[in-house]
């Protein structure tokens, strides 16, 4: 590791993995932690925690309060849990307008109600002006396990990769919110809870191999995490099948970003057995995910690698994100 921590260590990519796997996890002596999931499955409970430092605090499609609830609810949901209870902790910077705090708190309450979860405990700290960037939020959540056994170790050759909607919306929306007037059309974050979608998929049981919400590092980094240590399996995507909104594609071109590495905050990735793939896509569409699509498959052709078949008929390797493409997006 480097001698000093840089923003790259918060990217969700290789540097983040290095920080967690070399510095933090070895000191904890925890089997549950060593699984490195977005949530821990402990008996019949699913437990997760997340901290939110997004800048700006308000962005098209949401704000840090909505994001904080959705983030933890989604981590529990894709781990196979039904989220039930959340904690809520604020670190507030001196000088934050009370009106902003009221709006953020109302979003927390409204989103929790939408998800069917209760805020049951919390904490509040205030730090000196210039030391908190307005407000940071931490949420932790507990849920009941309803889809046991999910994990990338269950993937098999021929399994199908499905995404519930267009990718890259959140990261692009946040970046554009920092540069008002850069584009005429407004792109909204996809920030939304996923517990309704995962509940709809629960009846598929063991035909669901693994689920994840592609936040930091986006679709490409998340899929790399599924196969990075495999000596047998890789993943192949069809670029033409990956839903990306034209406005997001254009904005990413202007900003020098790749939408496949831009964070999503309301999208579900599922790897499923091939015989249920179309049924899963149809189920997601019936839940309001009109852009849901099968975008690739698990293969033994290139173990440990994510390969994308391009629109031009060629192939490219999509490696795990190495730096901070978008700082402070969640």
The answer to whether 262 touches 194, Cβ cutoff 8 Å, is no
The domain limits of the chain are 37-145, 152-317
CA distance 320 to 12: 9
Is the bond preceding 275 in cis, omega lying within 30 degrees of 0?
Answer: no
> Averaged over 10-20, what is the pLDDT?
78
CA distance 6 to 15: 9
Comparing 3-7, 47-51, 178-182, 315-319, the range with the smallest average pLDDT is 178-182
Four-CA torsion 196, 328, 216, 147, nearest 10 degrees = -30
pLDDT at 328: 64
Count of CB atoms situated within 10 Å of the CB of 27 = 7
CA distance 315 to 312: 9
Quick one: 152-317 is in which CATH superfamily? Answer: PurM-like C-terminal domain (3.90.650.10)
Examine domains 37-145 and 152-317 and report if their fold is the same: no
Could you tell me what percent of the chain has a pLDDT over 70? 95
CA distance 113 to 135: 22
> Averaged over 272-281, what is the pLDDT?
98
pLDDT at 168: 95
CA distance 230 to 9: 24
Query: How does pLDDT run across 16-65, given as a tens digit for each residue?
Result: 878 888 888 888 888 888 777 789 999 999 999 999 999 999 999 999 99
- Coil/strand/helix, residue 50: strand
Which class would CATH give 37-145? alpha beta
pTM: 0.92
pLDDT at 139: 98
pLDDT at 206: 95
pLDDT at 325: 59
pLDDT at 323: 64
Q: Which residues are CB-neighbours of 317 under 8 A, at least 6 positions away?
A: 305, 306, 307, 308
Query: How does pLDDT run across 177-216, given as a tens digit for each residue?
Result: 887 666 656 799 999 999 999 999 999 999 999 999 999 8
| DSSP bridge partners of 81 | 145
pLDDT bin (cut points 50, 70, 90) of residue 250 is very high
- Coil/strand/helix, residue 109: helix
Mean pLDDT in the chain?
93
Distances in Å between the Cα of 266 and the Cα atoms of 99, 166, 188, 282 are 27, 10, 11, 18
Query: How does pLDDT run across 133-160, given as a tens digit for each residue?
Result: 899 999 999 999 999 999 999 999 999 9
CA distance 10 to 19: 9
């Amino acid at each position: 590791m480097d001698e000093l921590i840089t923003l790259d260590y918060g990217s969700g990519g290789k540097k983040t993995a290095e920080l967690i796997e070399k510095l933090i996890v070895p000191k904890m002596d925890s089997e549950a932690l060593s699984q490195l999931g977005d949530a821990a499955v402990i008996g019949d409970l699913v437990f997760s925690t997340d901290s939110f430092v997004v800048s700006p605090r308000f962005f098209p499609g949401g704000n840090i309060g909505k994001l904080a609830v959705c983030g933890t609810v989604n981590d529990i949901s894709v781990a196979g849990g039904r989220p039930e209870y959340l904690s809520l902790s604020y670190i507030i910077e001196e000088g934050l307008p009370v009106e902003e705090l009221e709006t953020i708190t109302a979003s927390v309450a409204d989103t929790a109600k939408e998800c069917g979860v209760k805020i049951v405990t919390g904490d509040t700290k205030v730090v000196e002006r210039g030391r908190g960037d307005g407000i940071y939020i931490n949420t932790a959540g507990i849920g009941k396990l309803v889809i046991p056994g999910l994990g990338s170790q269950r993937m098999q050759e021929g399994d199908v990769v499905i995404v519930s909607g267009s990718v890259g919306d959140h990261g692009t929306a946040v970046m554009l919110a920092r540069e008002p007037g850069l584009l005429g059309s407004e792109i909204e974050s996809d920030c939304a809870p996923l517990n309704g979608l995962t509940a709809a998929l629960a009846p598929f049981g063991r035909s669901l191999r693994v689920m994840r919400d592609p936040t930091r590092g986006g679709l490409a980094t998340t899929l790399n995490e599924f196969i990075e240590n495999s000596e047998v399996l890789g993943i192949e995507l069809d670029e033409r099948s990956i839903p990306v909104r034209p406005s997001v594609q254009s904005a990413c071109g202007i900003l020098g970003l790749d939408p496949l590495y831009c964070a999503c905050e309301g999208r579900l990735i599922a790897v499923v057995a091939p015989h249920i793939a179309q049924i899963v896509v149809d189920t997601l569409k019936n839940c309001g995910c009109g852009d849901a699509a099968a975008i690739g498959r698990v293969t033994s052709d290139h173990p440990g690698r994510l390969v994308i078949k391009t629109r031009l008929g060629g192939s490219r390797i999509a490696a795990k994100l190495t730096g901070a493409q978008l700082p402070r997006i969640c």
